[in-house]
Amino acid sequence: MKKKTRTTKISPETFQCEHDYIELCDLLKVAGPRVSGGEAKQRIRDAQVLVDGQVELRKKCKIRPGQTVSCGGLEILVK
């Protein structure tokens, strides 16, 4: 009997950036999956956050429109 494999499809959420950029930690707090500031910083430190497919370890990294941030099964497209 074949086992069915589950695939988790990440549906991107969009975040409208009102300025030139938003810091990564702030983006996770505002648009993330109900993350506190401390938890956002911990996820970044633990290399659980990807920016455009690359691990990002800087909590104050400037995220600009057009970039994609992934964290904990959530994908955020910044516009």
pLDDT digits (tens, 9 = 90+) for 9-23: 455 789 999 999 999
pLDDT at site 1: 52
In the structure encoding, which two tokens stand for residue 75, read together?
Answer: 């994908």
Name the nearest CA neighbour of 70 among 57, 56, 51: 51
> Is-contact 79 14, C-beta < 8 A?
yes
Q: What is the mean predicted confidence (pLDDT) over 3-11?
A: 47
Q: What is the pLDDT of residues 12-55, one digit of tens each?
A: 789 999 999 999 999 999 987 678 889 999 999 999 999 999 99
pLDDT above 60 for 6: no
Q: What angle do CA 60, 63, 65 make, to 5 degrees?
A: 160
Q: Give the pLDDT score at 7.
A: 40
- pTM for this predicted structure: 0.81
Q: Which CATH number fits domain 12-78: 3.40.640.10, 3.40.50.11030, 3.10.450.50, 3.10.290.10?
A: 3.10.290.10
